[in-house]
Structure 1
């Protein structure tokens, strides 16, 4: 009658002792007179149900709670079944209630609860918010400190139940090997000759218990090294083929609930190599170039794509590796188990084809034009692939990524085969390959996205004919200090993002009339390119990075005055590329008026006086301020009262600052403070304690300020303080 949920076997539980203690503490010591919900959230296979079972069976809870019903919910739940399962905890026979409606059942359960002591209801595998709302109805009176513990893989849902859910951690290497050993050898131990291989297997599982269990199942009963080596060569296949263990079945459950467009975005993440750190900007731009983001009138493609990526992270299908200073996703990654799901499903749907060596060390043939139009190739076999002079006119996307970020030097004659093989290519991301000249791509007029590397001194005029180009990424290793752009980029009406690793010298627009450029990102350009006609043409820019000699640019009548043309500018970075400065330069008095729309400002090596910093307080939309490598010089900073009204993140790096006075009057909503290599700073202003939003601080190599930082931590509950290098316990050094 009642559904039994999928879970790991319960005979060996590894790595959950600390996690269980934390959740039990919250269940027992939470609000005394009100209902509290403790969600346990994590990716598929991470062991949420296993942890919940461990907590459920803990003797301490049976002492603290009068009754503890366990209910598996699942995707296809019925609230009546949930109510009946709860009721069964209070009555041996529920035959009399099988025909009751849900409201009657809720009332019956509520009456039982009111007669007893504290009640804890465990809801396993919750997928929708309605379940939480319906179960809360049985607690008509919440004055006993009743609890609900729930497991879910959806962070949106977890935070709906409680703004501070319990995020289940991944197993560490030692725990993963311990679990593997128990699953393979039971009460025995791993033979010495297999320990090294066993640790590799455990590491390959990425800290996910279900992945460890699946691999252990493949190893069980195979006691010799040769068998283990054979399994090692096909680890990914075991994730998919072992349907009895249901490893990827867990992923499929989440995948099937995604909207079709988001499903494609998720599978598309598989084009990156296993274990690859994926920059969010790259993933988003590729989604757009591939046409998987459907245009909408209300939002830009970038906004829609960012929403989808956040959705995948909140559903625990994509792992958040690093955040930007404003809290948005900067780097993400697929767990190996999820990567295998994406790769296999994408292949089944002909979304893309992975090119890798077969068992006989051969390169598989390219699938025909009626199937796959996207190719991903490992850098190690690119040379061998090109030697065959492939012809694939049907291919529209070609990818070559390197997890080690190494460049590949290929013979020029081999490289030429890339543009000959893919004459109708639209997306080309081959940054590990080192090209001698970008002219090789002259005939690829269909390109929408290009990311290439090489010894480029200039961008040739031929790039001005790529009418469909949306994103252009150029990384050059030339000895030149700038990249001269000879192409008429103002004629590229689809170009939205232009990235270079050295300052680009932009051409002047042929005419100031006509349609404005669609450029949203220019990262980075030389100061002399910031002329009035150039910025007037690029008036829709949201992100601008300027690098070069800033002294003349920052003069009252210098190029900085042309920034007034940019009415949509949100992110601005000024990097002064001069090693020694003879004179102090100043922020122009009108700076705040020129960039008043800016939300994020980064200043590097500008060496302004700290008195100039107070001018930045007039930027009413400024949320993130990064001051790096002596952006300001001097030994003291005393901000004026009433400034920085919107600032949430303050980052100070490599500064000679010794004394800093500040409080809630200067930074009323500051949330996050970062101090890096501020080794002369004597103290973090204690007045920051008064800021209600202030919740996180990071100190790197700023040891003089550690004592004051700890004092702030002691006075603010739930405050996160990170100190690097970590302080060594005196006992450990003896």
Structure 2
């Protein structure tokens, strides 16, 4: 992590040398000096990070360097703060003198840092030989000591040792011996410890496979990959396999010569080559041309932790990718008991404890085996010992040598990360156990922390999304939920990985996690995440270097001033989401550096003007789900503001679903030129002035407008036509019968992906048909005279369509071969609808269909049996006559049409919530309103930007 700290500091120094941050000459000289030291030492830090866990002296050296980098970062931010104060209007002479003294102190401390850097650098010379040797060693990333590689054990396992292997093994063998005669690449991908090597070795050793191929070779790839060594290893194993003598002077052959030899050996043979644990694409690129693309049915298997590598290497040959999944619950329990209680079953009094510990393993075979090895040594009669492991699994991981196995496998993946991704990954340690992390929230936090490097042609959000994709690609984090159009919505991290990164985060002083029973806090806290009640004995700590503060599950109404003393002058992130806060929390605190402020789902009602105007660096202001209804004009001073969210949902009754309260924005909202997200502005309060201002916000990507007046339609269209970067647009009229005039929008935003229109349209805008990127379309109260499906059916990327009180006709016809990408369809409040027809090959991807409040619809859609991928069919407040036609008991004449659908529900709105009935629970007298299985107060489908 010293590499990350130094790399991050060098990144923070860039504005100084680009003249974006003005310093005095003496300050500048010290900063230049510091930059020189950092650049000279940075080249060795990746190797040092990989070795520090096994070398105590090196670990101390890396910590010293990391501390210096953190202190230098703090001093630079302090300098910037003093410069701002010096240029403030009306600044007194006394305060100027005081700030000058403080600046001289900082310059003195910068000199001290440079002196310490000189000492650290001279000490570094003692490590140079060690680091150089490690960088050349083939096992440099295995910590430098003799480390037991678990892949070797995976090659020796018997079938009796394995669980859950039969189904994936059968799939893999089928791909190997069947199919076209051309050469195919099969990739097996998954996180470290998932069992990729084990699975492939079982298929590789299967007698049917060995008999099918004339030459079978297994090559284990190391992280310190060298082309000649890999090719030489492959060639030697091939000569041994076909029982031919190895050519003389092979040890000195170049890579081209080795490729020619390998290609000649395999040209006329049906071969199988396995490359186990490939880390980088260039490893595959270096060897693929040595493997002939013959017509003998040859196969290549690659195992890798990186999903993009698996996909790219296989797609070239129309091959296959097997994404290895965690063990199922019963399989995981079987493996756990085999290793924890050999020859016995789990004692009944330990079952709950064992189930909890097993859940932490997340179906990861290596984690299950590692934890089982620890538990197998525990006294089965001492329940307290087992319970202690439940409550302190992190400490067990840190102190138990039996778990080094699992930690080292994880460290291989962590050390392979570039320095900027290490910080992003460690940041996940701030979230509580089992917490679903919102993608947008995480990206905005990364940006606020300064982890994201600017790249030409991309916004910071685009780059942050690339970082997130890379972590997902490396299988270090997992997607928990996606939107209907395929975007990542929430993320999760494997429980044991979370325990390990918490330990690493603590060791590196990256973040401090505080729980009710936490141990004492460190002296210097950079990021503080409070889980649950804050221990009172720890309050009033000095927090002048604190960068981020999070509250999770805190039920106390805390103020910053009471929480700590000494101020928060360097605070960048303040996240109070879901805390029962009643007042704006930063009344008496100078937060010039604050970039992220979230009061989401708090009880804050007002934003004080004298505070908000001081947050000059604020990038995200999240007031979603708060009672705030108006923002002061001082918000216009925040020229760096990128995301402004101020709204809450109305859920008083069925008609209120999909409705929101927005906020009154300052008239000159167009001055906030950096805005990318603006949700939701009430537009009927200023005679259309805000609507005309919107056209100035050229960076907008998400825009939500409420209560748009009919007479502002032309101005609205002119403004929207200028927002060429817009990806999501939500517009609501002043009421159900009010008109939204979109006739003047001749050129809609070209990249629009999500469109939500609530209001009377009379006719569907013709430009909707040109939105080739449109993935989600929600229409409400449209009152169209013509069938809208005709205009929407050819949209190439439409995945989610919701129509609420949209059309007065009696028939909806989904024509053959249309709506090719549609996955979710909702039809609600079609008062005249009597028939829905689904043509053959229409909506071939549809997974969810909801039909609600169509009182004249007495039968299920004709042709619904053609929807072979349909997983959920939901009827909301539909007539009993229709429900009886699909009842599995009695006269259900249409039951056979829906029998292929896994989940069929009937839901009814009662007393402020949904009563939900499953088809299988309908009573034998065919009443669809008995046998309640769920009660929900949430909207059936929420309209989200």
When normalised by structure 2's length, the TM-score is: 0.66
CA distance 1:421–1:652, shift in 2 (3 Å): farther
- SS of the residue aligned with 1:563? helix
> Hey, what does 1:717 align to over in structure 2?
none
Aligned-pair distance for 1:275?
2.0
CA distance 1:108–1:187, shift in 2 (3 Å): farther
CA distance 1:220–1:494, shift in 2 (3 Å): same
- Structure 1: how far apart are the matches of 2:204 and 2:365? 19
> Hey, what does 1:182 align to over in structure 2?
338
- What is the alpha-carbon root mean square deviation over aligned residues? 3.6
1:571 and 2:728 correspond: yes
- The 5-angstrom pairing of residues 22-421 of structure 1 reads 22-30=171-179, 32-77=180-225, 78-79=229-230, 80-91=232-243, 94=246, 96=248, 98-99=250-251, 100-114=253-267, 116=269, 118-163=270-315, 164-222=320-378, 223-224=380-381, 225-242=383-400, 245-357=404-516, 361=517, 363-369=518-524, 372-378=525-531, 380-382=532-534, 384-385=535-536, 388-402=539-553, 408-411=554-557, 417-418=562-563
> Hey, what does 2:15 align to over in structure 1?
none
CA distance 1:280–1:616, shift in 2 (3 Å): same
- Structure 1: how far apart are the matches of 2:860 and 2:254? 63
> Hey, what does 2:802 align to over in structure 1?
652
Cα deviation digits, residues 640-685 of structure 1 (max 9, x gap):
49x8666443423656775134466x76xx5343114669773444
> Hey, what does 1:697 align to over in structure 2?
846
Name whichever of 217-226 and 523-532 sits farther off. Answer: 523-532
CA distance 1:60–1:605, shift in 2 (3 Å): farther
Check the 8 A contact 1:183/1:216 in 2, yes or no. Answer: yes
Aligned-pair distance for 1:428?
0.3
- Structure 1: how far apart are the matches of 2:450 and 2:389? 38
- SS of the residue aligned with 1:299? coil
1:467 and 2:611 correspond: no
> Hey, what does 2:744 align to over in structure 1?
590
Check the 8 A contact 1:522/1:545 in 2, yes or no. Answer: yes
CA distance 1:385–1:89, shift in 2 (3 Å): farther
- Structure 1: how far apart are the matches of 2:166 and 2:760? 51
Aligned-pair distance for 1:310?
0.7
> Hey, what does 1:405 align to over in structure 2?
none
Name whichever of 150-159 and 182-191 sits farther off. Answer: 182-191
CA distance 1:388–1:350, shift in 2 (3 Å): closer
Aligned-pair distance for 1:565?
4.8
Aligned-pair distance for 1:157?
0.6
CA distance 1:192–1:173, shift in 2 (3 Å): same
Cα deviation digits, residues 221-274 of structure 1 (max 9, x gap):
322223322222222334454555521211211222221111111111221122
- Structure 2: how far apart are the matches of 1:477 and 1:598? 31
> Hey, what does 2:821 align to over in structure 1?
671
Check the 8 A contact 2:557/2:582 in 1, yes or no. Answer: no
CA distance 1:532–1:710, shift in 2 (3 Å): same
Q: 1:599 aligns with which of 742, 752, 758?
A: 752
Cα deviation digits, residues 117-157 of structure 1 (max 9, x gap):
x3222221011234334443344351111111111001111
List gaps (5 residues or longer) in structure 2: 1-136, 140-147, 649-661, 853-858, 875-900, 905-919, 925-945
CA distance 1:707–1:20, shift in 2 (3 Å): farther
Check the 8 A contact 2:714/2:744 in 1, yes or no. Answer: no
- Structure 2: how far apart are the matches of 1:130 and 1:396? 39
> Hey, what does 2:768 align to over in structure 1?
617
Cα deviation digits, residues 179-210 of structure 1 (max 9, x gap):
11011122322222222222221111111111
- Structure 2: how far apart are the matches of 1:56 and 1:5? 20
Check the 8 A contact 2:836/2:862 in 1, yes or no. Answer: no
CA distance 1:520–1:86, shift in 2 (3 Å): same
> Hey, what does 1:6 align to over in structure 2?
150
Check the 8 A contact 1:528/1:559 in 2, yes or no. Answer: no
- SS of the residue aligned with 2:589? coil
Name whichever of 142-151 and 623-632 sits farther off. Answer: 623-632
Check the 8 A contact 2:184/2:300 in 1, yes or no. Answer: yes
> Hey, what does 1:444 align to over in structure 2?
590
- Structure 2: how far apart are the matches of 1:125 and 1:631? 56
Check the 8 A contact 1:177/1:198 in 2, yes or no. Answer: no
Check the 8 A contact 1:41/1:165 in 2, yes or no. Answer: yes
- Structure 2: how far apart are the matches of 1:429 and 1:608? 40
- Give 1 or 2: higher helix fraction: 2
Check the 8 A contact 1:484/1:504 in 2, yes or no. Answer: yes
Aligned-pair distance for 1:67?
3.2
CA distance 1:187–1:431, shift in 2 (3 Å): same
> Hey, what does 1:727 align to over in structure 2?
902
When normalised by structure 1's length, the TM-score is: 0.84
Aligned-pair distance for 1:281?
1.1
- Structure 2: how far apart are the matches of 1:176 and 1:6? 19
- SS of the residue aligned with 2:216? coil
Check the 8 A contact 1:395/1:422 in 2, yes or no. Answer: no
- SS of the residue aligned with 1:488? helix
- SS of the residue aligned with 1:639? helix
Name whichever of 276-285 and 453-462 sits farther off. Answer: 453-462
- SS of the residue aligned with 1:652? strand
Check the 8 A contact 1:67/1:119 in 2, yes or no. Answer: yes
Q: How many pairs align?
A: 689
> Hey, what does 1:627 align to over in structure 2?
778
Cα deviation digits, residues 672-720 of structure 1 (max 9, x gap):
431146697734443547xxxx7x332244597788465365xxxxxx6
CA distance 1:571–1:237, shift in 2 (3 Å): same
Check the 8 A contact 1:42/1:154 in 2, yes or no. Answer: yes
- Structure 2: how far apart are the matches of 1:147 and 1:606? 58
- Structure 2: how far apart are the matches of 1:622 and 1:464? 38
> Hey, what does 2:103 align to over in structure 1?
none
- Structure 1: how far apart are the matches of 2:582 and 2:756? 33
Aligned-pair distance for 1:20?
1.7
- Structure 2: how far apart are the matches of 1:19 and 1:655? 48
- Structure 2: how far apart are the matches of 1:622 and 1:433? 38
Check the 8 A contact 1:650/1:673 in 2, yes or no. Answer: yes
1:518 and 2:674 correspond: yes
Check the 8 A contact 2:710/2:741 in 1, yes or no. Answer: no
Larger Rg: 2
- Structure 1: how far apart are the matches of 2:431 and 2:681? 29
- Structure 2: how far apart are the matches of 1:653 and 1:23? 44
- Structure 2: how far apart are the matches of 1:2 and 1:292? 31
Aligned-pair distance for 1:411?
4.6
CA distance 1:387–1:213, shift in 2 (3 Å): closer
- Structure 1: how far apart are the matches of 2:241 and 2:480? 42
Aligned-pair distance for 1:431?
0.9
List gaps (5 residues or longer) in structure 1: 403-407, 714-719
> Hey, what does 2:788 align to over in structure 1?
637
- SS of the residue aligned with 1:309? helix
Aligned-pair distance for 1:635?
9.0
1:501 and 2:647 correspond: yes
Name whichever of 247-256 and 534-543 sits farther off. Answer: 534-543
Check the 8 A contact 1:614/1:640 in 2, yes or no. Answer: no
CA distance 1:708–1:533, shift in 2 (3 Å): same
